Structure 1
Amino acid sequence: MTASDVVETIRLEPDAGLVKSLGANHILETAVADLVDNCLDAGATRVAIHLLTGRDRLVQVEVIDNGNGMDSTAADLAMTLGHQREYAVNDLGHFGIGMKAASFGHADVLTVWSSRYGATPVGRRIRRTDFSKDFSCEVLSGHAAADAEAHRRRVTGTGQGTSVVWTELRGTYRGANTEEARTWMANAERSLRSHLGVTFHRLIAKNTLDIEILVDELEYADEAIGTPVKAIDPFAYARSGHPDYPRTIVAESGGQRIAMHCHIWPPKVDIPGFRINGKPGDRFQGFYIYRNDRLLQVGGWSAIANFSLQRQLARVVLDDEAAIGSFLTMNPEKAGLRFEPVFRDALAHAAADDGTTFDAYLKDAEACYVEGNRRISRRQPVIAPEKGFAPKLRKSIGAELPLLRSDSLNLQWKKLPEGEFIDIDFGNSTLWLNARYRYLFAPERGSLNDAPLVKALLFLLTHNVFEGAHLGPKDKDNIALWRAVLGAAVEAEEEMRGE
């Protein structure tokens, strides 16, 4: 190939049809988070998110901020697909398609109202169908923009800022079942709160960002008050699960260094932060990647390591702006990153100052999980089963539980009043069963070791009572409970069998 091969240079404009695929990978949570990024880039400190319903179905979404706002020129550029403004070092915007992709992933109509200090309030509207034909955008009246400014003032305390409104929504519940609609809304709000709480947890904790969410019927929304989103810190353990962690492991390539801050959660802890959005913490092992205090990836090993139940305590922080674009590539939805081969290669040789490698860190996390389970699941000794228990049953109990050799429990039959099934003889360490009902559990002629299933269940239920020095109030209350419930159960058993 040579320069002489070129006979002409032509300009190929993008086809407006690409709009139809915008936002295809966005879920509601990531789409709204992308809009919050725009609010932060505009200097906002307060963001109000309104999920507005009609007959309990989501019909409108509003994201309202108190940022710097836009004038007419800036609004036109913001609505232009792919326009990349001059991004500041701390800006979260990256591709120039965020607001459009986030919006068209969930709505067919995007409306933007904005007011900048010293400028006339402006409004712009894009209809997905028209935009996908010729990139057309509607310019809205100054009167309507002024009304939107007044609404923003009521919500955020200032008219300056931007309001993004989605209407003609897609992907929401549309069925006829009202309970299903309400459940859908409740789940949507909970997932959104959780996602925003963890994604922006550093900014919320620093009090540099307030996010509130309001869910209400559209006609009553002006009278309602939103509820703040709380920070969910995925590293909010009180004490590390391993005394040598957190520890920093550094990967190097081509003179560039990336620090990985490796954490190990304490075992058997199930608190918000370890558990996210009600999902168990083992799903959130892996890398947590931040950019300007915004969390871009919530766990996952990105093919650097394999998911494992034993690695559920391992979480790694990457908080290096320079790594994105060289070691890591961000996707447009900001919902995860691709780890480039250069980073994978560098990780193989990464080490902490004391020589600890990434593989050694994973082994430490696994060992902490295993040891924590072994230590916490140790079973306490129980009274030894004796007379009335079949030899096979005694052997099984002894294999599963350490036995107190100082005393033993007998379980035997004798005639008790009708309607009672058990009696506790604490002084003689004997649990008596009512012989009136023996035939129900030993239909063949009974023997000393009969009804092993019933006796095993009763042993597991009552053994604690016989292991104390005396019967306390709680023991007596439990015995009364067992007598009442088991007495009713055995009578019901007899009736059902037609005896």
Structure 2
Amino acid sequence: MGKKLKTEEILPSARRTMSAFRNFGYTFSSAVAEIVDNSIEAGANEVNININFDGSDSWITIADNGQGMGLKEITEAMRYGTERKYDSQSLGKFGMGLKTASLSQCRCLTVSSRKSLNTPYITGLCWDYDHIQKTNKWQAIKLKNTELNRKVRKPLMKNTGTVVMWERLDRIAELENPDGKRGEKRLLKMVEDLELHLGMVFHKYLSGEIKRKNLKICINGEKVRPWDPFVRTEEKLDILNPIKIPVKTDKSEAHVILEPFILPKKSDFSSDAAFESASGPHKWNMQQGFYIYRSGRMIQSGGWNRIRASDEHTKYARVMIDFPPELDEMFSIDVAKMRAKIPLQIRDLVKKETEKVVGKAKRAYGADMNTKLKRKISEVINSDEIKKEICKTNNIPKIENNFPKNTSETGGEVITSSTHADPLPVAINSTINQLDVTIPVQFQEIYETEIPDDEYFRLLRAVYDVLMEYSDSAEKKVLKEVFTRIPQFEENVIAKNSYIETI
């Protein structure tokens, strides 16, 4: 037998440790979502969140109808790093969420629970941050029935379940004057954000997609609606083939499911309201990318995890990635369940599949933008003002004859200069009709990136570039003269882009 080790137990400072644990990076919404995770784990199908503004006495309760706890169980639940074992489908991970999430938002956490209706009493324990700072001891405060806040007892009078209560909301009511209108307005905005966040994170549970009883979440009596980032009820949604990626672990082999989607363009949505809803809590550009799920619970909503950059042209691309809890370490899940990394073992494959969906999204975006912008540019180019300026120009080029043949919407050939009194507008319109073919996606991206706030000048620049490409030197001089008469053309196109040929 080996030599027996001499050891000494060194307990962490309660005061310093709890203070550090308050700063795990939770937002208000992600902290509440952590408590909802616990409710789902307890088998609840109904979670009621009540948020009450009363200045410095504001409070929040999160009550569920799941399996309750006795004193022994609630004591273990209040332990930092609870020793309960999580099964392969559990939403829990570290045994820290209840405490770290709650105390990231408040200074007083009370948990009460009722395990059976045959039990006449309700169990309650409290972590009081100020008490810990005063005593520097890991002392949870035991609460008798009569000592429990009425708001905690009321949901458990006729039901089993658990109630979590937050008081002294110092991280939420952090303004100098928490009792004023500004404090109330701030809390109301947080409630709005919370509704969107919970509807997104738990949308698979709220919609019944997860094989269990439909989850119902209410905030101040209002039902939270699920938000599906993939708008799977839309007819024009483009669903690409899902991929099942095997991943080897130390003990076995697990699988990651990757499923790409190209969302419809605005005109293909069932309604304007549906399009606006699909933009999500953070709007289109911020919502593109990976949606990473752990057993159906969303961990990440958008972003490309350094595989590529987000841009306007890929905003319709969204990719679902779902993995089981046994791959937590590979995905580097943090305590707050707010971030994940694509494992090196599958990163190259994910990148390859991402490029496919991104390429298709760019083509869809380009077609959408050209349809809308062709109309805008045509209105300007064919305006009486511009035609008048063109008529002042000698030696009008007939460059449209160099373009590939194109057909109109009615099937007829596009008009050329030989049958039109103003050949330059015809050339420009011919160019516009050919943009889908002649403007590569990468150039469209440059246009949009450099002039993000003005779609009109992006397309006008594209027209200018293609016309210059098809013109000889004499024609280029005439083109430059005519285009510079277009209001704000020089400052918005020529001046901002040094690589455009100047004459």
Do both proteins adopt the same fold according to a TM-score greater than 0.5, normalized to the shorter chain?
Answer: yes
Q: How does 1:328-407 map to 2 (within 5 A)?
A: 328-347=331-350, 357-379=353-375, 385-386=383-384, 391=389
Secondary structure of the 1:263 match is: strand
| 1:273–1:84 Cα change, 3 Å | farther
In the alignment, structure 1 residue 89 sits paired with structure 2 residue 88: yes
Normalised to the residue count of structure 1, the TM-score between the two structures is: 0.67
Secondary structure of the 1:54 match is: coil
Q: What is aligned with 1:51?
A: 51
Q: Do 2:62 and 2:163's aligned partners in 1 also have CA atoms closer than 8 Å?
A: yes
Q: What is aligned with 1:65?
A: 64
> What CA distance in whole angstroms lies between the structure 2 residues aligned with 1:366 and 1:204?
32
Deviation at 1:10, TM superposition (A): 3.7
Deviations along 1:354-395, one digit per CA (max 9) or x if unpaired, are xxx432222122222222211233307659555998526999
Q: Do 1:210 and 1:229's aligned partners in 2 also have CA atoms closer than 8 Å?
A: yes
Deviation at 1:276, TM superposition (A): 1.9
Unaligned runs of 5+ in 1: 215-225, 351-356, 404-455, 457-499
Q: Do 2:112 and 2:124's aligned partners in 1 also have CA atoms closer than 8 Å?
A: yes
> What CA distance in whole angstroms lies between the structure 2 residues aligned with 1:124 and 1:379?
66
Secondary structure of the 1:107 match is: coil
Q: Do 2:122 and 2:156's aligned partners in 1 also have CA atoms closer than 8 Å?
A: no
Secondary structure of the 1:91 match is: coil
| 1:147–1:190 Cα change, 3 Å | closer
Deviation at 1:240, TM superposition (A): 6.8
Secondary structure of the 1:36 match is: helix
Q: Letter of the 2:278 partner, please give it.
A: F
Aligned equivalent of 2:201, options 199, 202, 214: 199
> What CA distance in whole angstroms lies between the structure 1 residues aligned with 2:390 and 2:265?
35
Q: Do 2:300 and 2:340's aligned partners in 1 also have CA atoms closer than 8 Å?
A: yes
> What CA distance in whole angstroms lies between the structure 2 residues aligned with 1:393 and 1:95?
76
Q: Do 2:293 and 2:321's aligned partners in 1 also have CA atoms closer than 8 Å?
A: yes
Deviation at 1:315, TM superposition (A): 1.0
Q: What is aligned with 2:217?
A: 211
Deviation at 1:291, TM superposition (A): 2.3
Aligned equivalent of 1:293, options 292, 296, 312: 296
Q: How does 1:103-182 map to 2 (within 5 A)?
A: 103-117=102-116, 118-119=118-119, 120-131=121-132, 133-145=136-148, 147=150, 150-153=153-156, 158-171=158-171, 172-176=173-177, 178-182=180-184
Deviation at 1:252, TM superposition (A): 4.3
Aligned equivalent of 1:235, options 230, 235, 256: 230
Normalised to the residue count of structure 2, the TM-score between the two structures is: 0.67
Secondary structure of the 1:8 match is: coil
| 1:247–1:152 Cα change, 3 Å | same
Q: Letter of the 2:129 partner, please give it.
A: R
Aligned equivalent of 1:246, options 230, 240, 257: 240
Q: How does 1:263-302 map to 2 (within 5 A)?
A: 263-268=261-266, 271=275, 273-277=277-281, 279-302=282-305
> What CA distance in whole angstroms lies between the structure 2 residues aligned with 1:123 and 1:379?
67
> What CA distance in whole angstroms lies between the structure 2 residues aligned with 1:8 and 1:110?
38
| 1:393–1:121 Cα change, 3 Å | farther
Q: Letter of the 1:166 partner, please give it.
A: W
Deviation at 1:61, TM superposition (A): 1.1
Cα RMSD for the two superposed structures: 3.4
> What CA distance in whole angstroms lies between the structure 1 residues aligned with 2:385 and 2:74?
86
Q: What is aligned with 1:39?
A: 39
Q: Do 1:114 and 1:145's aligned partners in 2 also have CA atoms closer than 8 Å?
A: no
Deviation at 1:246, TM superposition (A): 2.4
Deviates more, 1:365-374 or 1:10-19: 10-19
Deviation at 1:293, TM superposition (A): 2.3
> What CA distance in whole angstroms lies between the structure 1 residues aligned with 2:98 and 2:149?
22
Deviations along 1:277-317, one digit per CA (max 9) or x if unpaired, are 2x321101111122232211111212233222222111111
> What CA distance in whole angstroms lies between the structure 1 residues aligned with 2:383 and 2:145?
86
Deviations along 1:175-215, one digit per CA (max 9) or x if unpaired, are 4494433431221111000001111111111261111111x
Q: Do 2:204 and 2:297's aligned partners in 1 also have CA atoms closer than 8 Å?
A: yes
Q: How does 1:417-496 map to 2 (within 5 A)?
A: none
Q: What is aligned with 1:497?
A: none
Q: What is aligned with 2:13?
A: 15
Q: Do 1:51 and 1:58's aligned partners in 2 also have CA atoms closer than 8 Å?
A: no
Q: What is aligned with 2:419?
A: none
Deviation at 1:324, TM superposition (A): 2.6
| 1:188–1:146 Cα change, 3 Å | closer
Q: Letter of the 1:54 partner, please give it.
A: D
Q: Do 2:295 and 2:325's aligned partners in 1 also have CA atoms closer than 8 Å?
A: no
Deviation at 1:93, TM superposition (A): 1.2
Deviations along 1:80-125, one digit per CA (max 9) or x if unpaired, are 1111312233321111110110111011111111111144311111
Q: Letter of the 2:35 partner, please give it.
A: L
> What CA distance in whole angstroms lies between the structure 2 residues aligned with 1:166 and 1:299?
30
Secondary structure of the 1:134 match is: coil
Deviation at 1:249, TM superposition (A): 3.3
> What CA distance in whole angstroms lies between the structure 1 residues aligned with 2:70 and 2:296?
28
| 1:208–1:257 Cα change, 3 Å | closer
Q: Do 1:382 and 1:401's aligned partners in 2 also have CA atoms closer than 8 Å?
A: no
Report the structure, 1 or 2, having the larger strand content.
1
Q: Do 1:237 and 1:266's aligned partners in 2 also have CA atoms closer than 8 Å?
A: no
Report the structure, 1 or 2, having the larger helix content.
2
| 1:104–1:58 Cα change, 3 Å | same
Aligned length: 379
**Bigger Rg, which one:** 1
Q: What is aligned with 1:303?
A: 306
Q: Do 1:235 and 1:273's aligned partners in 2 also have CA atoms closer than 8 Å?
A: no
